[in-house]
Structures are given as C-alpha cells and as structure tokens.
Amino acid sequence: MRIIDIELYLAKRLLVRNIKLFKASFSSLYQIILGTNGSGKSYLVSELSPLPAVSKMFEKGGYKKITIEDGGSTFVLTNKFDSGSGVHSFVKDGVDLNENGTATIQRELVAKYFKGLTPELFNVLTYRKFSRFTEMDSNKRRSYLMLMSGIDLDWAMNVYQALRTRARDASGHVKRLNQKLSAEVQVSIDDEDVEKMELRLKGMQADFAEALRLTKNGVPSLNDIERLLAPKLFQLEALNSDLDKFIATIEDGMCTFGISNKEGVDRYITTIKANLETLDGTLTKAYEDKERVDGELVKLKEMGAEGLAEYKAIIDKLTEEVKLSD
C-alpha cells in the first residue's frame, strides 16, 4: 500500500493553526513530517490511513480525501461531513463499492482490500491509545498478529490444543510407566540370588555337556558309566568306613560298662548324673568344713599357748569318746 496524496478540509485540529485546507502529495516511499509542538503532526499521521475519518474531528462541510495505490489498483476514499456521521465513498479503479455511503461499509471494505486493517490495528501500529506492541501481554499480541495476517488461525490453534492435550497424556503415561518400573525393580532378586542362579546354571550346563558327549555316539558304554560312578562310590566307601569305626567305638564303650541296648545307656547316664550330684554335695560340705576350720584357727591364734593346750585336751577327750562309741 502506497499513499499518493491526502486532502483535509475544515479539520478542527488544523483550524487551530488557521489551516482550512491541507493538501499533501507523496512522491517518495519515505516521508519526513516536521513541525513545532502542537502543530498537528500526530493528527496528520492519524489520518494517513484508508480508514474513515471521525465526524467530530471536522466542522460541518469538512471532508477527508485520500488516494492510495495497492496491488495494481488505485483507490480514492472520501469522507464528507455535511451532516450526521457523513457520507463515505470507496472508489476502486473508478467504481464506488460503498453504494450506501455508510461508515460501517467503509470500514468493512478497508478491512477487505487492505489486509485486515482495522482502527484497533492502526492504533497499535501508530502507538495511539495503546501501549507498545512489545509491552502487551501474549494474548493481546497474538490477537493483533492474527488480525494483521488476515488468516483464520482457528484450525491451527485447535491443532495446537489437540497436540498439547496428547503431550500431556503422553507425559502422564510415561510417569505411570516409571512408577511401575520402580515397583518392579524393588521386588527384583538381589545380587546374591543372581550369583546362586549363575552357579547352578553353570553346573547344569556342565552336566548337560557331559551327557551330550556321552550320547553323541549313542548309548554310553559300561566303562563310561563306571568312570562316572567311581568317585561317588569312593566317597560312599569312605563314609561307610568312618561309620563302622564310630559304631565299633560305641559298642566297645557299651561292653566296658555292661550296656547292651539303648535302655541300658539311659540307665547308665542316669546313674552318672546321680553320682555327680552326690559328689557336688560332698564338695559343698567340704568347703563349709574348711571355712569353719579356718575360723577355729583364727580363734586359736588369739587364745595363745595356754588356750591351745586347753583346746588340745578337749580334742583328746572327744577322740576317746569317739573311740568308745565305735
């Protein structure tokens, strides 16, 4: 889109500067607008668009006329304000497309032929009434980008939402699988069990290899069987010999003590236990007598020689009495 020229008649913002009619033609793609503060630069920029002007910005009888080239066509857009909201024309290559002359149809034609341009979008592009595009939140930026593109992005957004849902579901499925894997690892066998299984497997593999070797040429021979059984028979004979020696030892002991069967062994053990208990009682009494004698010796030492002679006489007397009693 390239603006060729513009006319503004009885624009209130310019009348402040005593400008009743303003005309400008643009021969270059780039234009510089210079002026002092309050001279109307911002207002002029606001009118440099195909959008219809606002009636309250013009005196009665005022108008805006702008010529634009775009896509190989020439557009002449006019807004006249003789009364009310004015009369609008949208001439494309000599044909007026706004037969009713309303502002609503004028805006719809502008949006149709100038890539979705709307008053809101124009305000964003010229920083009027809105914050800078980079300072908007993501939702507002997305809405304006969709407006500028002129493309219906509903399908793309629906696809995005569907993919987002599937990604969320996949993430939940992966989480459940990880939990299941963790539970399986906790109940798995430990290293010690694995080692035992490996040793058992090796033994089975060795036995299988030996059996395969023996059966490779048919049924194993008697010599092979005897060779395999020889170590086992030797071990059995050694165990049998040790068992015989043990039994002989037990029999010799039983003969020595006059024991001929299990009941005899039980009686012999019971007798030994009774004798041990008797000996334990005798030993206990001997310890008690020793302690009593030690006490008497201490008393004798304290009595001296006279007491000792007297005590000896008592012992002799008691000895005689014992002999008489026997």
CB-count burial class (<10 Å; 0-12, 13-18, 19+) for 265? middle
What mean pLDDT, rounded, does the chain reach? Answer: 78
User: Of 88-97, 104-113, 251-260, which gets the smallest average pLDDT?
Assistant: 251-260
Backbone angles phi, psi at 210, to 5 degrees: -65, -45
pLDDT in the model for residue 11: 95
- Side chain identity at residue 236, one-letter code: L
pTM as predicted? 0.44
pLDDT in the model for residue 297: 65
User: Of 14-23, 58-67, 114-123, 185-194, which gets the smallest average pLDDT?
Assistant: 185-194
Residue 62, pLDDT > 90, answer: yes
Residue whose C-alpha is closest to residue 66's, from 24, 96, 37: 24
List, in order, residues 6 or more apart from 107 with CB less than 8 Å away: 51, 52, 118, 119
In DSSP terms, 193 is beta-bridged to: none
Number of helices (H), then strands (E), belonging to the chain: the values are 9, 6
Using one digit for the tens of pLDDT, what is the confidence trace for 259-305?
A: 566 676 677 778 778 877 887 777 777 777 777 766 766 666 666 55
Record the tokens describing residue 306, joined without a space: 């006279």
- Side chain identity at residue 142, one-letter code: R
Using one digit for the tens of pLDDT, what is the confidence trace for 75-103?
A: 999 999 998 889 999 999 999 999 999 99
pLDDT in the model for residue 320: 72
